Every structure is written in C-alpha cells, then in structure tokens.
A and B are shown apart, each in its own frame.
Chain A
Amino acid sequence: MNNLLVKIGALSVLGLMPEIASADELNGGNTAWILTSTALVLFMTLPGLSLFYAGLVRSKNVLTVLMQCFSIACLVSVLWLLGAYSFIFTDGGVLNGFIGGAEKILALGMGTADLSGDIPETVFFMFQMTFAIITPALIVGGFAERMKFSSMFWFSGLWLVLVYVPVCHWVWGGGWLAEMGVMDFAGGIVIHINAGVAALVAAIVIGKRNGFPKIPMPPHNMTMVVAGAGMLWVGWFGFNAGSALTADGAAGMAMLVTHISAAAASLTWMFLEWKIHGKPSVLGIVTGMVAGLGTITPASGFVGPVGGLLIGISAGLICYYATQYIKTKLQIDDSLDVFSVHGIGGITGSLLTAVFAATEMGGLGLPEGVTIMSQVTVQFIAIFATIIWSAFFTFVILKILDSTLGIRVTAEQEQQGLDVVLHDERGYDQL
C-alpha cells in the first residue's frame, strides 16, 4: 500500500494520474490489468527464467536448475503468506524506516473487499509476491551446477527474509530510502542489484566449478535458452507496465520504454560480437535483451522513449564489457553471469533513471525541487546500501550453511552431474 502511495506521489507530481490519488473505490480496469500482470510476472519465472537457466547449464544439471527455480517459487509463496508481505507492506511504527509490521502475517484481516489504492489488496499481495519469487530464483545462476539442494533451499528462504524483505520495505514499503525519494519503478534496486550482488558473492564463496575457466562449459540447449528469453521479454511487460498499478498512459509508456530498451540492448550486444568476434551469436543477442530489460526496470515509469533507447544502448555496452571483465579477467565463476547482467544493469539503470527522468532529457519529470544531481545522489545511496546489505547477509548465510550442512557437492558428484546425484533423475533418456 505504501508502495502505491509512493508511486502515486511520484506520478501525481507529474500530473499523470491526479484522479488516482483520491480514489478509494475499486477500479475494474486497473484490477484487470494487475491480475494479468501478476500472471505475466509469474510466467517470467515459471517457466521463462527456468528454461533460460536450464538451457545454459550442461545437460547433466538441467533438472537441478529447473528444480531450484520451481522449489524457490513454492517456498517464497509460503513465506510471503507467513509474513514477508506484512513485514514489507505494513507500517512498522517506530521501526518503519527499517522494517514493516506484523499485522498482516498470514494475510490476517485481508478480505475480498479490502483495497490497496483502487485495486483489491489480494491482487496487490499476489502481484508483489511474483516479484519476490523471481529475485532468489535469479541468484541460482551464480552458484549453478555445484550447490547442494538442501543448502540452496535454506539459503533462498533465509535470503528472502533477511535481504529481500528489508530492502523491499526500504524502497517500496515506505522505509528510509522511500523517505529519501529513491526512484525504483519496478525493481532495479530491489530485484536486480539485490540478486546480482548476492549471485556474485555466492559465486565467490562457493568457488569455481571444477575445470573453470580451462574447460569450456557451453549451454547444452540453446533452443531452450531462446524460448526462455522470449518468455522473459513478454513477461517483463507485466513486470514494468504492471508496476504502474494502473491501466493507463503511464503503464503504456512503461511498456514502450521497456520494449525499446530490450530491442536496443539486443542489437548493441549483437553488433559488438559481430565487430569483435566476426560473427553475431544467438546467446549474445538474448543476453543483450536481458541486460536491456534489467537496466530499464528502475527507469521504466519515469523516462521517455528516447531515454529508453539510450538506456538500452548503454545496457548492451556496459553489460557486455562487465561480463568479459568478471569472467575472463577476474575469473569469478558467476556461472550464468547474474551480476554482470542484472547487477551491473541494475546499477546502470538506477543511476540513469535520475538523468533521463528529467524533463530536459525527455523524461516525465523529476519531483519538484529535485535536480538531476540531487537525485543521482539519492540513487547512489540506495545502490550502495543495497550492495552492502545484500553482500553482507549473503556472505553470512552461506558461511553458516557451509559450516553446518555444507554448501557444495563433492568433486565426484559434480563430475557425475547433479541431476542424478541430488534428484535420482536425468533430464534426457540416454542409454
């Protein structure tokens, strides 16, 4: 609810939706669109991201990745009901700057007649849940192909509670970053930086896959990767245009800039590979697309079409070189490049939001009294705080799990493949 108020606040300043600010009657059009968006965002994880990630790993680990994404979706859903929603989106009283309250654990008192803004609270609850689901699922790419299932499961649950819940409250639940006026329309900070940093730290703590970087570990099924990527693109319309929480021109503009950024980043990556390597690759163009979508996410409700285009081009360029730097230069085995694409993309987009939101840069305008530089400062503080918080707790959770359950399978199990070792199944029927 506070999330809605923050956004309404920002948008009202823009003069976009003055009628919403006073609305407390159910709006059927808005409700229909957010119901649709909820399905679109869940579709991003099940099966979009799952297929994208599953195709990227080796065939012996395909089920492990699918299982991780699926089980995370189930776990987060239950945790969401048990209290995650409440601690993000209700008032935490004196602690509200830091964390929300407990009044809506188990969705207590949430009936069919209750509204969040002008949509049912049940719809808002479900919509926000799908964002919480995809965030820990994104982190899977950092430790893919070598983590024990039990530790992965504990990690995802603890990370949701200790990292996602507070950071989401700070930004969207009326916490201290919201008070400062941070602009994160659909989750550049809450989701992409948060997950990207966690994946990087997880990759460092758990260590490289055996053989990395000497032995190439190419995707085992590029068809699956491209199918998953296409679903992510479509689902992202719900993610960004749904985050307007209204079915109007603001949602339309968010959809427009999202789409243009994805297309521009895809082309940028494609042309870079074409120029440097001599041939454009399929994995390259779809990776550019994910970078473009992640980078426009924080900006999607604040910038204009040209801003979307320029953010997309920046995303393609910066994420391309970030990937080379992390994997080839630093030799960190962030296996599916979560930090380089989502983390770096999220940081880039969150900073550029402040720039391209300004009216003189073709944006929808910064709030009154706010300049580009003052907003960049706020964005920087939010980015910095999120990086520190996510990195610290990811490290602590993994270290504790490592000293109790152990986080990594044995070298022999890793060689054998986690599908058979952890699940007694195999993805493909081989003799």
Chain B
Amino acid sequence: MKLITAIIKPFKLDDVREALSDVGVAGLTVTEVKGFGRQKGHTELYRGAEYVVDFLPKVKLEIAVSDETLDAAVNALVEGASTGKIGDGKIFVTSLEQVIRIRTGESGAEAI
C-alpha cells in the first residue's frame, strides 16, 4: 500500500478528482495549504506599496492506494493537475504500513 501526497494548484482540484475517480480511487482528503517552490511568491499591493507574498495558496491531497492502483492514480494526478506552467505542484509517494477502517475494523488493502 502507498500513500500519495500531492500538492496541486487549487483550481485544478475538480479535474484531479474526476481523473482519480475514473481510475477507481474511492476516497481522498483535501487540505488548503500554503507554500513555495520554484514558482516563488507573488507581489501584492498595500496603499500603493508593493510587497512580496512568499507563500502561495495550494491544495494538498492525501490518497491511500493499493500497490496495483498506484501507477494509474499517479498518472491520473499528473494528467488532471498539469497546466504545463511553473507551479503545477508535486507528487510524493511513501509506503503505507497499515490502514484500518474504523467502522468495521477491516485492515490492509481491504480497508482502502
């Protein structure tokens, strides 16, 4: 089992959710976050004075998948989140030791 953590542009969230649904991903968690990467910050205005905002708003997705669905899910994420411009985000994949469904007590891939 793997945990996919993806940082994407907020306006691509719907595209990503649809692409993931199409490959059979049944659940995900979304958080609004701020951060910076190569895109850096941007300039805002305060009464005529410009200042740099270092952290840009992004959306963080957390998705638990079985080893078999991993590649399809990652492809769907890339396809859904890509605009080709700087700031599209990143995908991190980590191993997942255990998953437990609280209601039934099921564990492992069954619980995903």
Contact = CB atoms under 8 A, between A and B. Distances in A.
Contacts of B50: 277
A58 interface: no
Max chain A Cβ within 10 angstroms of own Cβ: one of B44, B48, B51, B53: B48
A287 interface: yes
B45 to A, nearest CB: 5
Contacts of B52: 216
Interface stretch (A67-75, A168-176, A320-328): A320-328
A272 B51 contact: no
A423 interface: no
B86 interface: no
Contact of B47 (A216, A279, A323): A323
A327 B49 CA distance: 9
A283 B45 CA distance: 9
A414 interface: no
B49 A281 contact: no
A287 B44 CA distance: 16
B44 A283 contact: no
A113 interface: no
A277 B47 CA distance: 11
Interface string A273-303: 1001101010110010000000000000000
| Majority secondary structure of chain B interface residues (helix, strand, loop or mixed) | strand
B45 A216 contact: no
Contacts of B53: 216
A281 B51 contact: no
Contacts of A216: 44, 46, 51-53
A323 B52 CA distance: 18
A279 B48 contact: no
Interface residues of B, number: 10
B48 A273 contact: yes
A323 B49 CA distance: 9
A323 B44 contact: no
A319 B52 CA distance: 23
B45 A324 contact: no
A284 B51 contact: no
Contacts of A219: 46
A272 B44 contact: no
Contacts, number: 37
A327 B44 CA distance: 16
A279 B45 contact: yes
A273 B50 CA distance: 10
Contacts of A269: 48
A337 interface: yes
A283 B46 contact: yes
A218 interface: yes
Max chain A Cβ within 10 angstroms of own Cβ: one of B46, B51, B52: B46
B110 to A, nearest CB: 32
Nearest to A328: B49
Contacts of B45: 273, 277, 279, 281, 283-284
A211 to B, nearest CB: 12
B48 A276 contact: yes
A320 B48 CA distance: 7
Contacts of B48: 269, 272-273, 276-277, 284, 320, 323-324
A337 B44 contact: no
Contacts of A281: 45
A337 B49 contact: no
B42 to A, nearest CB: 12
A254 B90 CA distance: 60
B17 to A, nearest CB: 25
Nearest to A215: B51
A81 B53 CA distance: 49
A218 B46 contact: yes
A123 B11 CA distance: 57
A408 B24 CA distance: 58
A281 B44 CA distance: 9
User: Shortest 5 CB-CB distances between A and B: which pairs?
Assistant: A216-B51, A281-B45, A323-B47, A287-B47, A277-B45
Interface of B: 44-53
12 contacts: A216-B52, A218-B44, A218-B46, A269-B48, A272-B48, A277-B48, A277-B50, A279-B45, A283-B47, A320-B47, A323-B49, A327-B47
Interface of A: 216, 218-219, 269, 272-273, 276-277, 279, 281, 283-284, 287, 320, 323-324, 327-328, 337
Given A320-B48, A327-B47, 19 more contacts: A216-B44, A216-B46, A216-B53, A218-B44, A218-B46, A218-B51, A219-B46, A272-B48, A273-B48, A277-B45, A277-B50, A283-B46, A283-B47, A284-B47, A284-B48, A324-B48, A324-B49, A328-B49, A337-B47
